[in-house]
């Protein structure tokens, strides 16, 4: 039996069809998800995605000298 990969947008549309409209769903994807077409098709969805390092803003942040602080763990 051959399993073909299901396009991510088809999976998301399928999930949306069975969820309650008032549900807030966050989709998590890697940087390959971050394309103009996919972002436009998910305009009203919540998503967390790593941005490809080829994007100008990402390049700037990767080379920026940021003063980041480590968060303390909850006790």
* 2 within some domain: no
At 4-16, the pLDDT tens digits run 566 777 877 777 7
Q: Model-level pTM?
A: 0.44
| 71, part of any domain | no
Does 48 fall in a domain? Answer: yes
Rg over alpha carbons for the chain, rounded to the nearest Å, is 17
Burial 35-49 (b: 16+ CB within 10 A, else e): eeebeeebeeeeeeb
**How far, rounded to the nearest angstrom, does the alpha carbon of residue 54 sit from its chain's CA centroid?**
16
Domain that holds residue 50: 21-60
Per-residue pLDDT tens over the stretch 31-68: 888 888 877 777 677 778 888 888 898 899 888 888 87
Q: Within a domain: residue 28?
A: yes
Number of structural domains, the chain?
1
15, part of any domain? no
Evaluate whether residue 53 is within a structural domain: yes
The reply to whether 4 falls in a domain is no
Whether 7 maps to a domain, the answer reads: no
């Amino acid at each position: 039996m051959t399993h073909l990969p299901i396009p991510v947008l088809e999976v998301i549309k399928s999930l949306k069809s069975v969820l309650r409209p008032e549900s807030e769903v966050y989709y998590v994807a890697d940087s390959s998800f971050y394309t103009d077409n996919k972002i436009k098709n998910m305009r009203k969805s919540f998503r967390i995605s790593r941005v490809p390092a080829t994007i100008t803003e990402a390049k700037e942040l990767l080379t920026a000298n940021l003063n980041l602080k480590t968060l303390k763990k909850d006790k």
